[in-house]
Amino acid sequence: MKVHVEFDCTPDEARRLLGLPDVAEAQAAYVEAVVKAMKNENSLDQLHGFARQLAPMGEIGLKMFQQFVDQSTGAFKSRGKAPE
């Protein structure tokens, strides 16, 4: 038996329904700080270093995420199904 439930709500309504905090102000402050820092970078090397600091766990986190995606798509390919 399958049951399908559909909610028609805005992202803000969904956040409130799930009891999640409103982080719009924190996100705006973070984006402003990132933009300001990127404008102050003088070379590509400095910009690359800044971008590596922003990524969770740096390059290791990126490689872990890439492995996860590769494994997920590999599992679908082995079943003969394409990911939806």
Give the domain ranges of the chain.
11-79
Q: What confidence score (pLDDT) does residue 2 get?
A: 93
Using DSSP's 3-state secondary structure scheme, residue 11 falls into helix
Residue range 41-55: mean pLDDT, rounded: 69
Query: b vs e for 4-35, b when ≥16 Cβ sit within 10 Å of the residue's Cβ?
Result: eeeeeeeeeeeeeeeeeeeeeeeeeeeeeeee
CA–chain centroid gap for 67, Å, is 16
The pLDDT assigned to 57 comes to 65
Query: What is 44-74 written as a DSSP string?
Result: HHHHHHHHHHHSTTHHHHHHHHHHHHHHHHH
Instruction: pLDDT band for 81, please (50, 70, 90 cuts).
Output: low
| Mean pLDDT score of the chain | 76
pTM strictly above 0.85 = no
Single-letter code of the amino acid located at 18: L
